Amino acid sequence: MSPSSAAASLSQARAHAALASPASITPAAPGFDIPLGADTVRVELTAPATLHVQFRKAGHAAAPTIVIDPALQATSRPGADVSHDTNGARLHSAQLEAVWDKEHGELRIGVPGQAPLLRQFALPSLAHGRLSLIHAKGEPMYGIGGFDATEPATAGLLRDGYRPVTAGEQGHAGAPFVWTTAGYGVLIDGVGGQIALGDTRIDARMFDGGLDYYVFLGNPHAIFGALAQVSGRSPLFPKWAMGFTNSQWGIDEKELLDIVHGYRERHIPLDNFTLDFDWKAWGEDNYGEFRWNEHKFPDGDSGKLKALLDAQGVHLTGIMKPRIHVDTVEGREATEHGYWLAQSDPAPDYFSGKTVRELDFADPAAREWFFNAALQHSFETGIVGWWNDEADDVAVDLQHMDMQRALYDGQRAISDQRVWSLNRNFYLGAQRYAYGIWSGDIRTGFASMAGQRQRMLSAINVGAMQWGMDGGGFKGGTPTPENYARWIQFGAFTPVFRVHGELGQHRQPWVYGTDAEKAASAAIRLRQSLIPYIYSYEHKRRATGVGLVRPLLFDWPNDANLRNDIDAWLFGDSLLVSPVVEQGQTAKPVYLPAGEWIDWFSGRHYAGGQTIEHVADATHWSDIPLYIREGAIIPVAPVMDYVGQHPLSELAVELFPADHATGFDYYDDDGKTYGYEQGEYFLQSMRLEAHGDSVAFAIAAPQGSYQPALKSWLLKFHGKPARAVRSNGRVLEAFASADALRASDDDGWAVGEDRFGPVTWVRVAAGKGQTVTLDVVK
């Protein structure tokens, strides 16, 4: 993007962000002003470890861009001491210190009692959109941007040199945000620019005059928590979106129902089917871009198809394009009201062959018009998810964000049903609009599949936590059975689990032969059994800013082996996965960080801090390198054909006690509506710790007003077997076996064996606070 078009984009960003309630930190934050002639730089502590440095032209702050949450608030004033003297000013709190050294023209930022983490000189350059920060030599840097679908991703996660700040195209995720495991992150309020990373410098240039920025101090979890606080938290996806999605281009109603039947008769879980061009009357007049194709889907417009699929637990997502046909009723309306994007010219559409043009989604009136009566009817008759494609072709960083903003605002205005979307790029701030990203039109094959690891983790490193890909690859033909099976295993441990292919391609497991079907189906079923675990991290992402998937360096920031590791990642707090991505691989090295790890499938224990060798099945592809972290707390449900097929009255929890305390917040709600925003949820915090000859497991009293079907927990303590079990000090009844315990409706316990070794089963009531104590065999 050129500086001039980027400046226009940023001006739009500030303008339409200002239409919402302006960003504010209330009550007033402690800080000081640095005079620069008629201008000032305001330095404020807006949260205990967050510093806001803002250039104010003639004392007036510029409106924040859409990167900043319009609803940004602080619940309380952070405590800090502010002092002034002839040498400058100082802001000091328990977690952060900022010092203005007037003599040297230097702003120093860091942790009290330690050397500064960042030093800023030349403060007047902020007026020209330039920022220079000095840091210690050799700190690893992350963020700024990921990779597009065709760009070599060999750089991995680390960032250095010149980096454009852009949403980019085809799966690219970008943000004006750079961070390091050295203990800080820097967020610039701007859209479009460039950041240059040197060995000791962060130099940023934004294309629109004055500049302000935020500094977040802490470990990676704290940094991303602060990022979510400032840029905005993501609403929850519907619970069905945690399951498996089959996308297909080239389909009609009959084939759709046949495919759904194929999943159901094989008991392969399926929650969502995503339709390409086929679902809509693309190219037809009278709002064809927004309504059902009655020839391919004769029962779509009446709602009959929706009823058929609802009965089988399948939701529909439909593709949406940023352009409409010019010579139509809707096209003439767009012309009359000025809804066209200036950067877009009329051109022949590659699919219909007719003239189309792109809409200007930065215009609030165009966004409101886009969710029109025809699209509302399509939503009401079954298109309940949005797949926003190709809004990244016009070099406007916010086009995809604003397109989804139109759908998010439109749906929320008429329905309490949760919004779900996939989009082909990401710019920070989009997460506020129920925004998922997929990695674009990728190729089939092992090399393409392997490259998705760094694409996913790099996107997550700029705040795009809800990431997915076209499992099996979009273009390049049909993947081999081995490639397909391994891709499904990979996808089962990503935030958005889906498959897709180009026109005429099929991505159902049974298309690829018996071995591939068996391996892929097992991975899909494993994913489905982990829905209670996965959905709890849906809540955690909203609450803390860190989602289901994260690079290992988030939890082991000081391990040099992980600085650029893309081969494995955490799936929640308790699981590490390192999928097989090489053809015919028989032995895969896997680096396990510090701690103790247990193979999910074999139960074998490994000490961390070393590279182990996973023996891979190169014939039937039946294995997934998946490891359990010591202290793990993992709820596991019976496998269902779709989310919510049966009520969960009892839920098993796999527990792996460690000699240090670990925790897990179990979360549930209705999975469908926004009732959770009014407190309609069920949240129980769990804590686990081994103490020599005893194990303590505490369940807090539940929070929230939602009442799930859950009546009891079936706790599975792995390790030394129990010789006595108490709940809140009361001795529980011992049963002869786990089967006897399951056959009873009473609380109690039993011992036995499973693949992990000795196990103690304990049943206790859900929905109340209690402590379970095991006296274990020495």
- Distance, CA of 490 to CA of 485 (rounded, Å): 9
Q: First and final CA of the chain: distance in angstroms?
A: 67
**Distance between CA 463 and CA 460 in Å, rounded?**
5
**CA atoms of 429 and 185, how far apart (whole Å):** 16
Residue that has been written with the tokens 């104590």 in this structure: 773
Q: For residue 692, what are the contacts with CB-CB under 8 A and spacing of at least 6? A: none
Q: Is 467 exposed, middle or buried (0-12, 13-18, 19+ CB in 10 A)?
A: buried
* Distances from the Cα of 759 to the Cα of 160, 590, 701, 731, angstroms: 49, 27, 26, 19
- Contact at 8 Å (CB) between 401 and 436? no
Residue with tokens 């090295």: 589
Residue 47: beta bridge partners? 50
DSSP symbols for 748-771: EEEEEEETTEEEEEEEEESSS-EE
Token pair of 773, please?
Answer: 């104590």
Q: Which residues contact 30 (CB under 8 A, 6 or more apart)?
A: 44, 45, 77, 78, 79, 80, 81, 82, 91
User: Annotated active-site positions, please?
Assistant: 389, 392, 441
Closest among 724, 665, 716, 655 to 690, alpha carbons compared? 655
Dist. CA 672–CA 703, nearest whole Å? 19
Longest dimension (CA), the chain: 82
With vertex at residue 665, the alpha carbon angle to CA 703 and CA 48, rounded to the nearest 5 degrees, is: 85
Contact 484, 516 (CB under 8 A): yes
Q: What is the 3-state secondary structure (H, E, C) of 171-235?
A: CCEEEEEEEECCCEEEEECCCCEEEEECCCEEEEEECCCCCEEEEEECCHHHHHHHHHHHHCCCC
Give the pair of three-digit tokens for residue 351: 């699919």
Q: Is the peptide bond before 346 cis (omega within 30 degrees of 0)?
A: no
Three-state secondary-structure class, residue 665 = strand
